[in-house]
Amino acid sequence: MDRADVDTKIRDLIAPFNKKDVELTAGTTFANDLEFDSLTVMDFVAEIEDAFDIIITMNQQADIETYGQLVDAVTKMQD
């Protein structure tokens, strides 16, 4: 799956969590822009892991602060 496909799939997965309909760009942050709390992050990560059949460790989660970083990380894990 290439980066564009990963991006499209993640956009579909994030929609129910994006309560304020924030425009998603590479620089959109989960904490500030999307206002995800820790529970929302855990639920969203579970959705990503199930959809892509991957495991995102706690260390990886700590390094992923923006939407673009998430798309890049998931794309890399798919390879």
Write out the CATH class of domain 3-78.
Answer: mainly alpha
Task: Identify which of 34, 78, 33, 42 has the alpha carbon closest to the alpha carbon of residue 61.
Answer: 42
Domain range annotation of the chain: 3-78
In the three-class reduction of DSSP (H, G, I as helix; E, B as strand; rest coil), residue 7 is classed as: helix
Task: Identify which of 41, 6, 42, 43 has the alpha carbon closest to the alpha carbon of residue 26.
Answer: 6
Amino acid 79: pLDDT:
76
Amino acid 78: pLDDT:
87
Summarised one tens digit per residue, pLDDT across range 33-60 is 999 999 999 999 999 999 999 999 999 9
Q: How confident is the model at residue 76 (pLDDT cuts 50, 70, 90)?
A: very high
Q: For the whole model, what pTM was predicted?
A: 0.94
Q: What is the mean pLDDT of the chain?
A: 96
